[in-house]
Amino acid sequence: MTTDALYVSCTDQTAKTYSQLGIPTYFYVFQYRGSNSNAPRNPTFGEVVSHGDELFYQFNLRRDGKRLLSGLDSIIESRMLTLWTDFAKYGETPHFLNYEYRDKWPHYRGDNGHFLFYSIGRDLKKEHNYRQTQVTLWLHHLPLLSNLATVLPSKLPLVEDKVEAVYSTLAWAVVAVVVALFSLVVVLLVVLYNQRRSHNFEMNSFEETSQQSPGPLVAPTLY
């Protein structure tokens, strides 16, 4: 899923944007796992290829633990160099078709939802619509779930009305809560004020009663 989210869908969208702007665009997928692949071996997914693995066959990269190229690696290296140099010199690749290069690298056209790409692996071949199910998920279905306005502009007023209604409901709910709390505070203050007045009245009454009542009788002492 990380590959589809960060690489496949983004690359597809970029190629489609260039194509819509009239810029000549070519799409390829490198699908050969060589001796120096950066991808970990996973028995669940089989032979997977890491992003950037093709750089080992285009440049003399140096890194720790780099292995010597196998016989098939050398064929892939020669193939990659031929494809890239032909494209740089002639604007298309391969320049000459033969048993090794049977198909031209097709021009990307993504405006009709159906495009060809160049699959570079043990063999060279044209294929159709690379992982479009995953691309559709990340570029259309997930944005649809998170933000309908970005996918369905024709229904934008409806979405805005729903959002406005939700905010209006929340605002009135907050107002109601504030009014209820204010009323509760007022009631508590009134109760406390009445209790204080009642307490002061009882204290005053007790003091007046104490002042009016005669003190205790004391018998005279005879000497």
CA–CA gap between residue 153 and residue 146 (Å, rounded): 14
- As separate numbers, helices (DSSP H) first and strands (DSSP E) second, the chain gives 7, 3
Shared-domain flag, residues 30 and 99: yes
pLDDT value for 86 = 93
Does 59 lie in the same domain as 140?
yes
Whether residue 9 is found in the same domain as residue 113: yes
Instruction: Say which amino acid occupies 92.
Output: E
Q: Looking at 55-204, which runs of residues are DSSP E strands?
A: 116-120, 124-128
Last residue of a domain, which of 126, 146, 166? 146
| 17 shares a domain with 126 | yes
Does one domain contain both 161 and 106? no
Which of these three, 95, 129, 146, is where a domain ends?
146
Q: Which of 77-81, 104-108, 123-127, 153-157 is predicted with the least confidence, judged by mean pLDDT?
A: 153-157
Flag whether pLDDT at 166 surpasses 70.
no
**Residue 42, CA distances (Å) to 29, 48, 77, 111, 119 in order:** 20, 8, 24, 36, 22
pLDDT digits (tens, 9 = 90+) for 44-77: 666 677 778 888 888 877 777 677 888 888 888 8
The pLDDT value recorded for residue 151 is 44
Output the pLDDT for position 88. Answer: 92
